[in-house]
Amino acid sequence: MFTNTSHIYDAIYSRLDYGALAAVVTDSALKHVPEAKSLLDVGCGTGLLLAELKEKFSVQGVDLDSGMLDVARARLTGVPLHEGNMIDLDLGETFDVVVCLFSSIGYTAELELMRQAVARMAAHLSRPGVLMIDPWIMPEMWRDDHLHADFVDEPTIKIARFGNNRREGRKTMLEMHHLVSTAEGVSYLVDNHTLFMFTDTEYRDAFARAGLEVEFLEGGLVGRGMYVGWR
**What pLDDT, on a 0 to 100 scale, did the predictor assign at position 146?**
86
**What pLDDT, on a 0 to 100 scale, did the predictor assign at position 26?**
97
The pLDDT tens digits for 175-220 are 999 999 999 999 999 999 999 999 999 999 999 999 999 999 998 8
pTM of the model: 0.95
**What pLDDT, on a 0 to 100 scale, did the predictor assign at position 193?**
95
**What pLDDT, on a 0 to 100 scale, did the predictor assign at position 144?**
87
The pLDDT tens digits for 22-79 are 999 999 999 999 999 999 999 999 999 999 999 999 999 999 999 999 999 999 999 9
CATH 2.20.130.10 fits 141-196, yes or no: yes
Instruction: Give CA–CA dist 55/221, Å, rounded.
Output: 19
**What pLDDT, on a 0 to 100 scale, did the predictor assign at position 145?**
83
Q: Is the pLDDT of residue 88 over 90?
A: yes
Q: Is the pLDDT of residue 1 over 80?
A: no
In the chain, where are the structural domains located? Answer: 6-138+198-230, 141-196
**6-138+198-230 homologous superfamily:** Vaccinia Virus protein VP39 (3.40.50.150)
Q: Which residues contact 15 (CB under 8 A, 6 or more apart)?
A: none
What are the phi and psi torsion angles at 49 (to 5°)? -75, -40
The pLDDT tens digits for 129-164 are 999 999 999 999 999 888 889 999 999 999 999 999
Quick one: CA dihedral 101, 196, 82, 116, positive or negative? positive
Q: Which residues contact 91 (CB under 8 A, 6 or more apart)?
A: 40, 60, 62, 82, 84, 124
For a pLDDT cut of 70, what percent of the chain falls above it?
Answer: 100
Q: Is the pLDDT of residue 108 over 90?
A: yes
